[in-house]
A and B are shown apart, each in its own frame.
Chain A
């Protein structure tokens, strides 16, 4: 349990310095300092926001769309060929149950580690 130094239990009743400080603290707590433009001055001093130009986002979207279209026209069926070959390779190799279990365990451990690292960074 947290203890407050001003609590009477902590200090002997004869601790007059403690009482002096408590009285001073009481007076201190009553004083409210008026803002008087302080907050506005702080807000003016804040670093400028890192704003990106307005045209940047649509330009980037257009560029990626162009790249995607270009790939689709220049490499027809390439993705399908790669997927087909990968499946053939996978299907040709016989897997034992223990191997499948090891792969699942490694993938699970990887996911947990990633989740913990991500959670600690938040």
Chain B
């Protein structure tokens, strides 16, 4: 009779108590897809960068496994580390624009993108819409982008997203609201008011 697979908690206990690397390898195999996919979304599809960050995520997870208190799901804890890795990277590279002046630039970007997308109503198929959504996501700040991805793509609750982003629940809701407003502006060509838009 085949033995049932061990739970995440059991594997974590083995890692902590017995320094069991096989147990950690099993955890990595189990969660690699979701963490890499999340980081790919955060890095706008940069596979090489997202894999580097995913590797860093799992190494940090191994180092800090003893501090994991199981007050959240293991996957949520990994999302938290992954998001922090990405935010650190974004800050280092100045890829994300933060601050008042930068926020203005972001709004300008959104507006210029909206004008550029006016012809989008003529596009057919979901691939064009997907591409535009991907482009529109780039006008969001790092925190807004992370909030949208955690809440929508990773299907986390606001409370879980707040844990991942390390901010209050109210701030997550604000990030999501602002992000959606910006996306609405940037993707207005796909809106219900546009010809052939989403009804």
Contact = CB atoms under 8 A, between A and B. Distances in A.
The interface residues of chain A, by DSSP majority, are classed as: helix
Interface string A22-61: 1111011101111100110111011101000000000000
B72 to A, nearest CB: 12
A43 B15 CA distance: 13
Q: Which interface class (under 10, 10 to 19, 20 to 34, 35 or more) fits A?
A: 20 to 34
Nearest to A47: B63
B113 to A, nearest CB: 14
Contacts of A22: 152
A53 to B, nearest CB: 16
B74 to A, nearest CB: 15
A24 B130 contact: yes
Interface in B181-199: 183-184, 187, 190-192, 197-199
A24 B45 CA distance: 14
A19 interface: yes
A28 B62 contact: no
Contacts of A41: 55
Interface in B84-111: none
Nearest to B29: A39
A101 B152 CA distance: 61
Interface of A: 2-6, 14-25, 27-29, 31-35, 38-39, 41-43, 45-47, 49
Given A21-B148, A43-B28, 13 more contacts: A3-B158, A17-B184, A19-B198, A20-B129, A33-B36, A38-B54, A39-B28, A39-B29, A43-B21, A43-B24, A43-B25, A47-B62, A49-B21
Interface of B: 19, 21, 24-25, 28-29, 32-33, 36-37, 40-41, 51, 54-55, 58-59, 62-63, 126, 129-130, 133, 148, 151-153, 155, 157-160, 176, 180, 183-184, 187, 190-192, 197-199
26 contacts: A2-B160, A3-B158, A4-B155, A5-B176, A15-B180, A16-B192, A16-B197, A17-B183, A17-B187, A19-B198, A20-B129, A20-B183, A20-B187, A21-B152, A21-B180, A27-B130, A33-B36, A33-B40, A35-B29, A38-B28, A39-B29, A39-B32, A42-B32, A42-B55, A46-B59, A49-B19
